[in-house]
Amino acid sequence: MAATASTVRATGLYRRLQHESRAAAADPVELVQMLYDELEIAVGVLISMVRQGQRISATEPAHRARAILIGLDAGLDRDAGANVADALSRVYRGMRRKLDEAVATNDVAALGELLDGIGTISIAWRKLREG
């Protein structure tokens, strides 16, 4: 059975409400992990789009990925952990540059490298949460 426009909208609304509920109850580390999860999804969608032959500049997943990286950078607590915050800021800026270049050139390999880097940092955040 094909999804109707109303089904797609309802599914999107449900997902958004689910994320908002989870975010309302989350601690700061969990919120960052949620952003990494969303970033991985957005970059994964971009990879799929490129593999399907689509241009990805000016698409919602590209804008979302960039906004998440900007948000992660802006949310760093530079007072509590200046050295770590500065290092993470450099990483986030580098990821933004790589994202912008990959989006501009529809470069699936660069998006894959970006996704690998996001995954590495995401794993570190998960371990922080567990430890």
| Residue-by-residue pLDDT tens, the chain, 131 positions | 444 445 545 555 445 545 555 555 567 888 889 999 999 999 999 999 999 999 999 999 999 999 999 999 999 988 887 788 899 999 999 999 999 999 999 999 999 999 999 999 999 888 877 86
Which of 42, 111, 45, 46 is CA-nearest to residue 71?
42
Q: Which CATH number fits domain 28-130: 3.40.190.10, 1.20.120.340, 3.20.20.140, 2.120.10.70?
A: 1.20.120.340
User: Which pLDDT score is estimated for 94?
Assistant: 97
Q: At what angle are helices 28-51 and 5-24 packed, to 10 degrees?
A: 150
Question: Model pTM?
Answer: 0.80
- Quote the CA–CA distance of 68 and 78 in Å, as a whole number: 18
